[in-house]
């Protein structure tokens, strides 16, 4: 839970940094407060889910996060290459991959005045579902881990004789 709080605080700061960089580069951001809020929400949702995966699966959680959020997430976002021009597999992944939801939400806020029916509603709903999955996975996974009496302490060094 402490890591979740840290992720939430970092999400607020990081979303601010992204907006400052946009302003510095001269990007027109008419709904900057809404963009900041949604950015922080999306960053927190992905960060909390990622830390939950690492808490449940240990070191292999890093690889799971890499595959889930980067390797499969980037091509299925639709932000660089339209999903219609990508293999159908990425269109399927876009239904639940967080980067696609972030793309829909940011596009709605920047270009369509942040109305719910322009994609922001879908993005908020699916991001909230992703956050809920991360919270449940982390809470249940660590509860089971603790209930079994397992620890994540490093193993003592082997001695050679």
- pTM value is 0.86
Tens of pLDDT, residue by residue, the chain (161 residues):
889 999 999 999 999 999 999 999 999 888 999 999 999 999 999 999 999 999 999 889 999 999 999 999 999 998 888 888 989 889 998 888 899 999 999 999 999 999 999 999 999 999 999 999 999 999 999 888 878 877 766 677 777 66
Helix intervals (H) in 66-119:
73-76, 88-93, 98-111
The full set of domain ranges for the chain reads: 2-142
Place of tokens 């596009």: 107
């Amino acid at each position: 839970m402490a890591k979740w709080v840290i992720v939430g605080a970092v999400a607020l700061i990081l979303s601010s940094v992204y907006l400052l960089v946009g302003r510095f580069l001269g990007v027109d951001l008419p709904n900057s407060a809404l963009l900041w809020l949604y950015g922080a929400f999306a960053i927190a949702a992905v960060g909390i889910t990622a830390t939950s995966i690492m808490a449940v699966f240990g070191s292999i959680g890093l690889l799971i996060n890499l595959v889930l959020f980067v390797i499969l997430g980037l091509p299925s976002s639709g932000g660089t290459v339209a999903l219609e021009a990508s293999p159908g597999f990425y269109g399927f992944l876009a239904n639940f991959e967080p980067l696609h939801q972030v793309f829909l939400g940011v596009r709605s806020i920047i270009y369509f005045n942040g109305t719910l029916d322009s994609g922001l509603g879908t993005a908020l709903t699916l991001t909230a579902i992703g956050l809920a999955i991360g919270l449940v996975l982390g809470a249940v996974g660590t509860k089971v881990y603790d209930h079994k009496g397992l620890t994540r302490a490093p193993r003592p060094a082997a001695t050679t004789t």
